[in-house]
């Protein structure tokens, strides 16, 4: 593990695989410019909600529960999911899910990501920020927020064998959202022992154990 982290550090100037956002469909699609993936807030492309460019794929994202499917090219990531219904220049990001750490390469799909119900009918952005051995990396999707929960599991929604997830804390990621935190629509469980507020339905499915003071290089 340590060897591969050091390796990814050493190769950080190369355009080796960082991560991809497979669902909702990312703004950069399947041609991510990995050399710009460390550019806030979204990587190589910054979405404009005013844009009517027909080349941009706009997915529906269900406020009561939808999927975020990722593919990781690093053995470990801390993930922040955030969203906004304002132009990103306004910087008003809402945290959509507790920060968690993925261990293991490959696919990871969180199944019950919720957003504020007040976003129904609005166009917005779902942003994913990953913190790993070679910095803080960004991808975004332009979405239309719709009511209900998504009953169609995207075919990209899988967990690779051996991939695990645990809540963690990450000050670098926490700094990338405002005070606004999605509280979830199903319950308000607080898991003090985990050191995180469980903010949304579905997180109960994640292991309760937490890696405290995780070493991130
Ligand atoms: C930030 O976003 C939240 C959630 O959409 C909204 O309630 C709040 O009014 C926004 N704040 C500002 C300053 O735009
Ligand atoms: C993938 O793993 C996470 C963390 O254990 C879990 O919450 C999620 O439901 C899993 N996704 C699928 C598609 O099984
Ligand atoms: C969850 O929190 C909200 C806002 O504080 C509150 O209105 C609601 O009644 C709570 N739900 C439960 C199940 O405690
Ligand atoms: Cu990388």
pLDDT at 183 over 80: no
Any atom of ligand 1 within 6 Å of the Cβ of 150: no
CB 165 within 8 A of CB 101: yes
pTM assigned to the model: 0.78
What's the CA gap between 10 and 61, in Å, rounded? 37
Q: Residue 132: which of 37, 22, 58, 25 has the closest Cα?
A: 37
Beta-carbon contacts of 176 under 8 Å, excluding residues fewer than 6 positions away, are: 40, 80, 82, 93, 129, 136
pLDDT above 80 for 5: no
Ligand 2 site residues, Cβ closer than 6 angstroms: 108-111, 157-159, 165, 205-206
Q: Please tell me the distance between residue 186's alpha carbon and the centre of ligand 3 in angstroms.
A: 9
Residue 85 beta carbon below 6 angstroms from any ligand 1 atom: yes
Distance CA 83, CA 61 (A): 11
* Residue 104 near residue 163 (C-beta atoms within 8 A): yes
Architecture of domain 17-209: Sandwich (2.60)
Tell me: the pLDDT tens digits for 48-59? Answer: 999 999 999 999
Identify the pLDDT of residue 182. Answer: 78
At 29, the pLDDT band (50, 70, 90 cuts) reads confident
Which tokens go with 165? 């997830």
């Amino acid at each position: 593990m340590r060897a591969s982290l050091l390796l990814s550090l050493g190769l950080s100037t190369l355009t080796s695989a960082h991560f991809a956002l497979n669902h909702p469909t990312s703004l950069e699609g399947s041609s991510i410019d990995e050399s710009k993936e460390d550019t806030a807030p979204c990587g190589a492309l910054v979405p404009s909600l005013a844009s009517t460019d027909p080349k941009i794929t706009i997915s529906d994202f269900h406020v009561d529960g939808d999927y975020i499917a990722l593919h990781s090219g690093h053995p470990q990531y801390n993930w922040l999911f955030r969203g906004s219904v304002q132009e990103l220049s306004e910087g008003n990001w809402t945290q959509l899910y507790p920060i968690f750490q993925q261990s293991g390469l490959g696919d990871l799909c969180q199944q019950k990501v919720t957003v504020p119900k007040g976003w129904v009918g609005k166009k917005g952005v779902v942003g994913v920020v990953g913190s790993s051995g070679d910095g803080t990396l960004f991808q975004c999707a332009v979405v239309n927020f719709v009511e209900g929960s998504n009953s169609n599991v995207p075919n990209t929604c899988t967990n690779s064998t051996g991939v695990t997830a645990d809540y963690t804390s990450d000050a670098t990621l926490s700094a990338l959202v405002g005070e606004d935190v999605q509280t979830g629509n199903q319950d308000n469980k607080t898991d003090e022992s985990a050191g995180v507020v469980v903010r949304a339905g579905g997180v109960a499915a994640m292991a309760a154990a937490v890696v405290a003071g995780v070493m991130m290089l």
